[in-house]
Structures are given as C-alpha cells and as structure tokens.
Amino acid sequence: MTIQSVDVLYTAVATAENGRDGRVASDDGKLDVVVNPPKELGGSGAGTNPEQLFAAGYSACFQGALGVVARQQKADISGSRVTAKVGFGKVEGGGFGLTVEIAASIPAVDEATAKDLLEKAHQVCPYSNATRGNVDVKLSVI
C-alpha cells in the first residue's frame, strides 16, 4: 500500500488520559469527554467510547464528502443523513480490529443515484481513504 502524501490544511489535537477508562480532550477545549468501555465490553458504559467518537467523526466526514460529490454532479442531497456503525472485536492472530457500516438516506434522489453518490463519496472521504485496505467498510442506501 502506498502512503498518501497530504498537503495539511488543518491539524486536530486531542489527548487521552487513562486510555479507554478516562478522559479525552482537544487542545482548544471544544471537546472534553469522559470515556469508559461499554457494558458489552465489561465497562461501566457511563461515558462515551472511542468507537462512538470514531463513528461520529466518520459519519460527519462522509456527509461532507457526499456534499462535495453531490455539488460536482449537481445532485440534490437535501434532507440526507449518514449513519456510521463501528464494530469492535478480536482479529485473527490476536489483537483487535474495527468494522464500519455507512448507511445513507438521500430522499431527493433515486436509489441508483444514491448508490453512485455513496461510492464516489467513499473515494473522496478522508476517513475512507485512511481506512481503505485496513478496515472492512460496507456502504448501503436506506
């Protein structure tokens, strides 16, 4: 796999304390959340968790990429919604991995156009580019 060269326009900075059972905050103070493992993984589930944060970031980023593609194709994506489901589990040989499902509702276009827009957004989205070849990402129109 070739490492992508990026002309950096913005850098986000966040720091975690105590890993999955602590706190994560951005350097500008706009994000400051308690993180705890979910009950399904033996934690308290009292705070958010890295998978929820990843799902939030991926869905927002993908929605932005969808907007870029839609403008290029002059497609109407008004009222659209993008949901990211991030799965966490063990991988063969030890360690842990993620799966991602991106589901989008684009009510102003037909299903074939929606699928085409999703595929093209998947090529543009920085999260998709970062995970390509490493994380199983499934796309669907809802």
Is residue 90 very low, low, confident or very high in pLDDT (cuts 50, 70, 90)? very high
How many structural domains is the chain composed of?
Answer: 2
Among 65, 51, 64, residue whose Cα is nearest residue 101: 51
The answer to whether the CB of 45 falls within 8 A of the CB of 54 is: no
Query: What is the three-class DSSP state of 109?
Result: coil
Regarding whether 57 and 42 lie in a shared domain, the answer is: no
Regarding whether 54 and 19 lie in a shared domain, the answer is: no
Beta-ladder partners of 34: 23
What is the domain extent for residue 27?
1-48
Regarding whether 81 and 27 lie in a shared domain, the answer is: no
Quick check: 78 pLDDT over 70?
yes
What is the model's pLDDT at position 54?
Answer: 98
Quick check: 101 pLDDT over 60?
yes
Is residue 5 very low, low, confident or very high in pLDDT (cuts 50, 70, 90)? confident
114-125 confidence digits (pLDDT tens):
999 999 999 999
How many Å is the maximal CA-CA distance in the chain? 47
* Mean of pLDDT values over 93-97: 94
